[in-house]
Structure 1
Amino acid sequence: MHKRVWSSALSCLRWLLLICAAAAAGVALAESDPGATLHAKYASLEEQLQRNQFGRPLVLDSVETPNRLKGDIYAIVEYPLDAVNTGLNNPDHWCDVMLLHINTKYCHALAQPAGAILRVNIGKKTPEELADTERIEFNYSVAAATSEYVQIRLNAKDGPLGTSDYHIQLETMALPNAKTFLHLTYSYAMNFSARLAMQTYLGTIGSSKVGFTVIGKRADGQPNYVGGVRGMVERNTMRYFLAIDSFLGAASAAPAAQFEKRLQDWFTAVERYPRQLHEMDREQYLQMKRAEYLRQQTER
């Protein structure tokens, strides 16, 4: 009797060990295979991608820690993966993307022995001389590029006003029906002076600025959106995502018309979220970006 009990217990233990080993192997595979990790994330977000506040299949997350800000966007875009790879597996094209952002004043891609870099000048939301802006140098790399998965990274050691360790990472995965699942990460570190400068801005001219995460309801029943530096990183993550989407959408236009289409499409996309992203009228934006584009062709 006791032998049968022990035999049964040992059999159950073996099955539990096999199950645990299989689970551990699955975790290890996901950790070693970023494509598998992204596929698992897509599966976990299926319902949120269908039902959300954005009016499109998009999920936005953000994290604020004492020394770092991070925004993540997961979205389905209406382009096949090979078109996304062709468009964004190119540092020059990333300058076309970056320039759409309202704060980007200049971008130039350079080939270096260690790899490509992007020299990006960041400034105000108004026209500025380059001498009055701040420069960030991003190292550009393609970490993976297959028929099913692409990962592109832009990293910068130093940034303006006490910020550092910038990471912009784009992951893309092929979906059925010529669509692509896209994951954009935008993050950077802050020292004490950077946080102080941001708090000063957010306590004055930026006091009414909000992000996209709903943290409750106001007295009138309307959504109460996250503010502060977390709201700021959400706005910028969305601006970069809309720039990527606008760049990809303009690729089908005639080459001479692509720049103008990118500008028009980016502004239209931004204005879908006026509470968070409206800064100026369309003509002001177009005039500023046309001038910055011309300057970008002549200054290196």
Structure 2
Amino acid sequence: MPAALALVACSWAQAQTQTGAAAMKSRHEELQGELGSNAYHRPLYLNSREDGSTVKGDIYAVLDYPFARVRSSLDGPEHWCDILILHLNTKYCRLLREGDKTTLRMQVGKKSEQELDDTYRVDLRYHGGISAADYFSSSMLADKGPLDTSNYRIEIEAIPLDGERSFLHFSYAYSYGMASRLALRAYLMTVGRDKVGFSIVRREANGQPQYVSGSRATVERNTMRYYLAIDAYLAALDAPPAERLEKRLTTWYGATEQYPRQLHEVSREEYLSMKRKEVARQQRTSN
């Protein structure tokens, strides 16, 4: 690369880093109230929105881990399959590299044990973003998902707060087609009729909260599940390598059970048994 172009590229990267870091610092200041006092029992803020056929969930959270640990774990594709497999619906994940293309090939399905032939394939293309001493960002994109869903997008960015804490932004979005809207409607009228999200849309006269339902509830639940998977992965790094998988599994399940109204699906024993088998299958077929 000519020296002039290299200088321009370097200047652009520095500007993007400064812009991203400044925006995150500003967001952290704006959310002090919500991070300090909320129903999640942790410094976390979650919101969602629906715009036409697209739904998106965002989580901002303070992590009790040094920025160096967060960046080395999340700023790159190498550890994401270990994170994504913790989600109930992820049945398999494999990192593929072909030239300059990096893909996380996932198989998603039910919240119970399944043969891979009965699951849906989702190819998340990994895009590196900004990586600096005080800020990083990256994204993963998939054109197609199960049941006529599309335009999947996972984005992450983080900054250090001090020597022991980091501030994370995680977002998860996708679009619905007609078939997936009909499938969701059928689900919400049957087994999913009692499913809710985390956002409170109103309160009854007695003070009881009424939570968001429908598409926004679905994206909120999954955004939270993926965030808790990130947190469980980071927490398990304190354990000896041979014990980290079990630590990730038990930490993720325990965290989701803090929100039983939204996230409880299976018993602890069912989850651990299923995930141990899925991880073993993932390791066999990835080697």
Q: TM-score normalised to the size of structure 1?
A: 0.88
Which amino acid is 2:76 matched to? N
Deviations 1:39-81 (A, max 9, x none): 2111111111111111111000100122101000000000011
Q: How does 1:99-138 map to 2 (within 5 A)?
A: 99-138=85-124
Quote the sequence identity (%).
44
Instruction: Flag structure 2 segments of 5+ consecutive residues without an equivalent.
Output: 1-14
Deviation beyond 4 Å, 4+ runs, structure 1: 29-32
Partner residue in 2 for 1:149: 135
Equivalent-residue separation in structure 2 for 1:234 and 1:57 (angstroms): 17
Match of 1:272 in 2: 258
Higher relative contact order (CA 8 A, sep 6+): 2
State how far apart, in whole Å, the 2-side matches of 1:192 and 1:219 are: 37
Provide the aligned length of Structure 1 versus Structure 2: 272
What amino acid maps onto 1:95 in structure 2?
C
Match of 2:238 among 252, 259, 266: 252
User: Which deviates more, 80-89 or 268-277?
Assistant: 80-89
Name the counterpart of 1:189. Answer: 175
Matched-pair contact (CA < 8 Å) for 2:17–2:135: no
Q: Could you list the per-position Cα deviations for residues 137-194 of structure 1 after superposition, in whole angstroms to 9, with x for gaps in the alignment?
A: 0111220111110112111111111111111011101102420000000001111111
Which of the residues 218, 222, 236 maps onto 2:204?
Answer: 218
Q: In the alignment, is the contact (CA less than 8 A) between 2:76 and 2:128 conserved in 1?
A: no
Specify the SS of the correspondent of 1:170: strand
Unaligned runs of 5+ in 1: 1-28
- Residues 142-151 or 67-76, more deviating: 142-151
Structure 2 match to 1:74: 60
Q: Which amino acid letter does the alignment assign opposite residue 186 of structure 2? A: T
Quick one: which of 223, 226, 238 aligns to 2:224?
Answer: 238
CA RMSD of aligned residues (A): 1.5
Matched, 1:289 2:280: no
Q: Which amino acid aligns with 1:167?
A: R
Equivalent residue for 1:204?
Answer: 190
Distance 1:31 1:198 in 2: 39
Task: String of CA shifts for 1:270-300, please: whole Å, max 9, x gaps.
Answer: 0000000000110000000000011101224
Contact 1:31 1:37 in 2 (8 A): no
Letter of the 1:289 partner, please give it. Answer: K
Equivalent of residue 175 in structure 1, options 149, 157, 161: 161
Partners of 1:269 and 1:218 lie apart in 2 by 28
Whichever residue aligns with residue 42 of structure 1, its letter is H
- Structure 1 residues 32, 148: CA separation in 2 closer, same or farther (over 3 Å shift)? closer
After TM superposition, the structure 1 = structure 2 runs for residues 2-13 of structure 1, keeping only pairs within 5 Å, are none
Contact 2:67 2:163 in 1 (8 A): no
Rg (Cα) greater in structure: 1
151-160 or 276-285, which deviates more: 151-160
1:287, 1:240 → 2: CA distance? 20
